[in-house]
Amino acid sequence: MKRITDTITFIEGPFFQFPYCHCVLVQDDRCCFLDTAMPASHLLEIIEGKQVDVVLYTHGHLDHVYNRNRIHKPFCLYPMEEMWMESEQKFLEAFGFSSSEEKVFGKLMMQAGEWSSGKPDGHLFPGQVIDLGKNRIQVLHLPGHTPGHCGFFFLDEGILYSGDIDLTDFGPFYGNPVSSIEDFISSLEFLIELQPDMILAGHGEGIVKRNVRQRLRDYRDIIFKREDDLVANLKRFGKATLNEIVSWKTIYGKYNYPEEYEALYRVIERNMDVKHLERLIAQGRVVKDNEYYVVT
């Protein structure tokens, strides 16, 4: 745990372990969590003797809402994120698990993340200001990662809790069918103009205090580099089907993920490749000829 101000504490989660993320605790006139996906024992230790009034979730992914049922506190979520909690089938569809093999993996992931259906106690809306006492938190709708992904901006401190706009070297994640590259770019452009003084992110190093604006630009530009890499591969091979493109692992190729996670990363790679191909076709850089993609 790292004290950011006298009322804001950054709670570091295990480094890139599912179903965990970095979270924020605000101890003010009203006590508030921003995401709760930390080890359960750590959560129970933190909340012992504290009156937690509300939980604000950046989005509905399991590695951010983990402990939702354990904490037993009112929680708020952007309306478009309710799909992750509506039903098992809705979750699998939104994540992109379609084949029988993929659904088996998806259900195992849901079990590990302690998925359960549920309804938020309140909704979050763009521009909404949540007054906790010393802290005023403005809800920023930052879609792309998911349709209802939000950031929480401390108006008087210039601090942003950015959830899965995490500024990692991997870059933006838009690997679900409901994700959007265009929305992600727009969200990043908005934050570049906002110029927060500090970003507290849900993963990676977590606390970004230097060169924040440039870090946001660099993070955004990873999207464009992925497209350039995909086009370069298409030029080299001349033409390729979607399955062949997915096998190149343009997005995940440099990451040595465990073989048992192949089903998960194939789903994510496919979804992200499809989104890039759609953008490249719209830009006129790639055309689709029957089942083949070709560089113009």
Residues 239-244: contacts with CB within 8 Å, 24+ apart?
A: 239/289, 239/292, 239/293, 239/294, 240/292, 240/293, 241/291, 241/292, 241/293, 242/270, 242/273, 242/274, 242/277, 242/291, 242/293
In this prediction, residue 54 carries a pLDDT of 97
What is the pLDDT at residue 15?
84
Please identify every stretch of the chain with a pLDDT value under 70, giving residue numbers as ranges.
none
Res 41: pLDDT: 94
Residues 30-50: pLDDT tens digits? 999 999 999 999 999 999 888
- Give span(s): CATH 3.60.15.10, the chain: 2-218
Q: Does domain 2-218 have CATH number 1.20.1560.10?
A: no
Predicted confidence at residue 256, as pLDDT, reads: 77
Please tell me the predicted confidence (pLDDT) of residue 254. Answer: 81
